[in-house]
Amino acid sequence: MDSKRGSQLFKFDRSLMERLADGGMPMSQINVQRRMRPSISTFIRKILYPKLEDNDIVHRYPPVQGVRDDVYFVDHTNRENGTEDSVSKFNNYEVEMIRDLVLYFLRQGTYSGPGDIAVLCAYLGQLQKVRAALRDLKIAVALDERDEEQMVRQGFADDVTFEEVVVAKHIRLGTVDIFQGQEAKIVIVSLVRNTGTCETNSASIGFLKTRWKLAIRSVLLSQLFVHVTQSKLK
């Protein structure tokens, strides 16, 4: 995908829809979106769809619980892991950050439905690491003591239980390629690549240039977007 010949001859970085459009097939585009908050769609307008408009409904979304903003770009210099010639990269720092973010949002109580939170990885190696980190995690769901006392007084003693929720059952985990067209309230994207230093002039993210475009398309159906990578890679 990164080679000049592959890009020009086989066009591996072009979707089937883009190839059909390039070939002259008639196309139409929906210019009014009803999913993203305006604070998110403004990025999409700058990068992909300049004519995109917001439906009135997106202005009435309640604030995302547990955070102040709707978009976060997390920039760090924790070096990627794996060998230089490895086809599938991973970054242990981002794995730990994703695990902690997922636990934090689940504890808010609002985003505990199946698929409310999506974690997208640019590489299968990272996907495997994140899956392993979330596989056996559980969070305790318990009432506050004062609420528990009130329920007992009201005769709901049988409903006062301690429950452990398996985290993995509430998370949609996949690659940015596969997620296109799907929907989640919170999207966390891990792009993995990182030199480990602030000097990035000689660094290349390779086919991640294409994956970044896919990641941006993925955010089209979210209310909170968290992007984790090293921002200065080229």
Please choose, from the candidates 96, 94, 74, 73, the residue with its C-alpha nearest in 3D space to the C-alpha of residue 193. Answer: 94
pLDDT digits (tens, 9 = 90+) for 71-104: 888 888 888 887 766 667 899 999 999 999 998 9
Tell me how long the chain is. 234
Distance between CA atoms of 96 and 74, rounded to whole angstroms?
13
Per-residue pLDDT, averaged over 165-188, amounts to 78
**Domains held by the chain: number:** 1
6: which residues sit within 8 A by CB, 6+ positions away? Answer: 12
119 in a structural domain: yes
33 in a structural domain: no
218 in a structural domain: yes
47 in a structural domain: no
156 in a structural domain: no
Full domain range(s) for residue 196: 62-138+168-229
155 in a structural domain: no
The residue type of 224 is L
pLDDT digits (tens, 9 = 90+) for 35-71: 888 988 888 888 778 999 999 999 998 888 899 998 8
159 in a structural domain: no
Distance between CA atoms of 172 and 63, rounded to whole angstroms?
22
Quote the pTM value. Answer: 0.76
Q: What is the CATH number of the domain that holds 176?
A: 3.40.50.300
> From the CB of residue 227, how many other CB atoms can be counted at a distance below 10 Å?
21
Backbone angles phi, psi at 16, to 5 degrees: -60, -40
CA within 13 Å, CB half, 46: 6
The residue type of 140 is A
pLDDT above 70 covers a percentage of the chain that reads 66
192: exposed, middle or buried (Cβ count in 10 Å: 0-12, 13-18, 19+): buried
- C-beta separation of 99 from 133 below 8 A: yes
Distance between CA atoms of 182 and 176, rounded to whole angstroms?
11
